Amino acid sequence: MNTSDTQTPDAPEFEGRVRALLTQYAKEMPASVDTETRVRERLAAPVGVTSPERRAVRWPGPRLPGGWARGAVSLGLVAALIAGFFAVVWLRNNQGNGTRNQCSEARQVSPDGSSSLTHVCSLDNINVQVSVAHSYADATRTSLEIRVATPGALIPHGQPITDSQPSDLLLDATLNDQQGDLYTMSRDSLGGPALLTYTSGQEVATGIAVFDPLPEGALTAPQTLTLRISHITAHTMTGWSSPVKGEFTTTFQVTPHAGRTIKFNVAPQTHGGITLQPLQMDIAPDASVFDGYGGGGERLLLRISGLPADADAGKVADISTSVTTPVSSDTTNGQTTLKLEGQEPAAVGGIPWDFFQSNSPVVGPSGTIILAVIFVSPPLRTLTGTQRLTVDQIMSSFNGQEGPVPGPWTFLLPLG
Amino acid sequence: VSEPEDDHEAIARCLRGDIEGLAALIRRYEAHALRLAYLLTGDRFLAEDIAQDSFIQAYQALPRFDARRLFLPWFQRIVTNTARMRLRTAQRRREVSLSSLTKEEDDARKEPRADFPRLAREENGMEPAARAERREERDAIGQALAALTDKQREAVALRYYLDYSDQEIATILDCAVNTARHRVYDGLHALERVIRRDYPWLLDVAGNVPVEGVKGAETR
């Protein structure tokens, strides 16, 4: 056991205090709450049985108002049970030397008349089919509702609980357009990785994956995109299963929803040698879509110059708005904090726009980087009028040093 | 029925379908599970549920457990995964998270209850001022932890509460050693920024708190 392999310069004393604080905090949790009795009862009782006696023992005393926690747990268990059988077969196939990755193609016609090509990969005796059920694109995102179907693998009700109960499938996916541009999967509609979740009684896992938005020029005409999933991993309570490798691909058409594009003529501002200048804002249309974001939202192009050539581009692009934790209203947590009136509180995702393809780890000799700051958390709004944009600091890391360049940079943006 | 002498015997009993093997593991590692889950979620009720779920998951997964390895790191991986799943579920349902508890819910979850006899007894024996001070400290630590990302919090808890190395953290979190190292580093620095800015007085408190041997090594 050692604790010296992570070096934290100038912080050994702080590390010691963190140990003490965590120890103190953890001790607020009693060392025993009769877990043994409760686990015995749960293992002895049939799953799904919620007799009053069992309920009374398992949930002593009042829980939160509304009993939501109980409902959440019950729903989770039911969903996990439904998916259990599939997971066992899945994992068994995945570990063997079977015939997986034997893929064929099938053409599907969507309800809207568009045609898509779906690869069907056989995992021994189970077909895993990936398809795009719905798609949406605007200046802030391209959202897909992805379905992974496993015909014939529906768990029969009453199947015993197994040790592998997936509630999620994790996808490693990218989008390509016909020009060969690559769009990475940035988050699901709640900010996490793309996860597909089983629905009770079905043999289809569905979920929403959100990808980096199409460029400005592609928002005015229908686009043919190809979804490529390199592997699918089932998440169980005991960890992640070995991934089922594709490649699963499906091609589909999406008609982008064009909004407004406003090019700014705003003077740059400099603090500490770092110059910021808002260049453009793409405002998504105020239309209701399936992915939970709602309508609206913005993509702001922001030029940052005066950076050292070896500055970490990813660090500069690591931007957040004011964090809405109870800690405070402006926790920076080592990030640049950007506030746009009218969209607070909202998370943003910063993309190093001109490094979009090269994925360069550093800013480069120009010392300039253009970020696309995209508001990603619902509820989004369609902004109008003049709005104030404030960037409190720029976080950077170069020459092995890390630290903020303080601002603030403040701009008034005319949004029409 | 005799108490299993060690983890291996307890696991062997579990594999034979003897529930007493699991009971022995629960008695041995209940505090670990509860306190790790509490550090990861900041929620006592959730920590209880996570501990129960984790023991059941471990029991059911034991046939796949490599008996040549230590049980505790494997089990803590289950606790960490279960906590992650529960937090994610809570966040998806917009019902509860470290950062979204309403004041009323937050207070309800922090109040000592009848089934937390030790804590209730300790706090009842305190002067009102000392009790308030203790709660303020607890809230401040919880809120500082809430400012970390889930992954940072996991890494910080495993390093600074359970005293694991980067390699061990990587094993538990199922990630590369470098990733684990960065999570610890980033988490510690994020925690330092929050504490020094918002709760600098916590550092004085920490200076007076003895660090006890509650680490993972103690029971492995």
- Report CB contact under 8 Å: A21, B35: no
Structure tokens at A168: 């999620």
Alpha-carbon span A297 to A291, nearest angstrom: 13
Q: For position B101, what pLDDT does the model report?
A: 34
- The yes-or-no verdict on residue B21 having pLDDT over 70 is yes
When pLDDT is cut at 50, 70 and 90, the band that residue B23 belongs to is: very high
Query: Nearest-5° angle of CA A375, CA B81, CA B57?
Result: 145
Q: B80-93 pLDDT, tens per residue? A: 888 877 776 655 44
Alpha-carbon span B131 to B117, nearest angstrom: 16
- Report CB contact under 8 Å: B168, A31: no
Q: For position A47, what pLDDT does the model report?
A: 39
- The yes-or-no verdict on residue B170 having pLDDT over 60 is yes
Task: Quote the minimal CA–CA distance from A320 to chain B in Å.
Answer: 13
Nearest CA to B202 out of A325, A20, A8, A12 is that of A20
Q: Please give the model's pTM, rounded to 2 decimal places.
A: 0.47
| Closest alpha carbon within chain B to A18 | B160
- Look at the alpha carbons of B196, B198, B201, B202 in this order and tell me if their dihedral is positive or negative: negative
Alpha-carbon span A15 to B160, nearest angstrom: 8
Nearest by CB: A30 against B118, B184, B192? B118
> What separation, in Å, do the N-terminal and C-terminal C-alpha atoms of chain B show?
23
- Report CB contact under 8 Å: B56, A42: yes
Q: For position B156, what pLDDT does the model report?
A: 92
Alpha-carbon span B209 to B220, nearest angstrom: 25
Alpha-carbon span B85 to A75, nearest angstrom: 13
Task: Quote the minimal CA–CA distance from A154 to chain B in Å.
Answer: 21
**Residue A152 — φ and ψ, nearest 5°?**
85, -5
3-state secondary structure chain A: CCCCCCCCCCCHHHHHHHHHHHHHHHCCCCCCCCHHHHHHHHHHCCCCCCCHHHHHHHCCCCCCCCCHHHHHHHHHHHHHHHHHHHHHHHHHHHHCCCCCCEEEEEEEECCCCCEEEEEEEEECCEEEEEEEEEEEECCCCEEEEEEEECCCCCCCCCCCCCCCCCCEEEEEEEEEECCCCEEEEEECCCCCCCEEEECCCCCEEEEEEEECCCCHHHCCCCEEEEEEEEEEEEEECCEECCCEEEEEEEEEEECCCCCEEEECCCCCEEECCEEEEEEEEEECCCCCCCCCCCCCCEEEEEEEECCCCCCEHHHHCCEECCEEECCEEEECCCCEEEEECCCCCCCEEEEEHHHCCCCCCECCCCCCEEEEEEECCCCCCCCCCEEEEEEEEEEEEECCEEEEEEEEEEEEEECC
Alpha-carbon span A392 to A339, nearest angstrom: 8
Q: For position B30, what pLDDT does the model report?
A: 93
Chain A contact for B61 (CB, 8 A cutoff): yes
Chain A contact for B212 (CB, 8 A cutoff): yes
User: Across-strand partners of A249?
Assistant: A228
pLDDT in tens, chain A (416 residues): 444 444 443 456 788 888 888 988 888 888 888 888 888 887 775 433 222 222 222 222 222 233 344 444 445 544 544 444 444 334 444 433 322 334 444 444 444 444 444 444 444 344 567 788 889 898 888 888 887 776 544 322 223 223 334 455 667 778 888 887 778 776 444 334 455 655 444 556 777 787 888 887 888 899 999 888 876 665 544 444 555 666 778 888 999 988 888 999 999 999 988 899 999 988 888 776 776 666 677 888 888 888 887 777 766 766 665 433 322 333 344 557 777 776 654 555 555 555 444 445 667 778 888 888 877 655 566 677 888 888 888 876 655 566 778 888 999 998 87
Do the Cβ atoms of A290 and A146 come closer than 8 Å? no
- Report CB contact under 8 Å: A163, B143: no
Q: A95-135 pLDDT, tens per residue? A: 333 223 344 444 444 444 444 444 444 443 445 677 888 89
Q: For position A3, what pLDDT does the model report?
A: 41
Query: Nearest-5° angle of CA A355, CA A249, CA A209?
Result: 60
Query: Chain A neighbours among B 131-190 (CB < 8 Å)?
Result: 137-138, 141-148, 156-157, 159-161, 163-168, 174, 181, 184-186, 188-190
Chain A contact for B200 (CB, 8 A cutoff): no
**B32 class by beta-carbon count within 10 Å (0-12 exposed, 13-18 middle, 19+ buried):** buried
Structure tokens at B191: 């925690």
Q: A38-62 pLDDT, tens per residue? A: 888 877 754 332 222 222 222 222 2
Chain B residues with CB-CB distance to A238 below 8 A: 57-58, 61, 64, 77-78, 81
Chain B contact for A56 (CB, 8 A cutoff): no
Q: For position A198, what pLDDT does the model report?
A: 53
Chain B residues with CB-CB distance to A40 below 8 A: 19, 23
Q: Complex ipTM above 0.85?
A: no
State what percent of residues in chain B have pLDDT above 90: 10
How many CB atoms are located within 10 Å of the residue A62 CB? 9
- The yes-or-no verdict on residue B118 having pLDDT over 70 is no
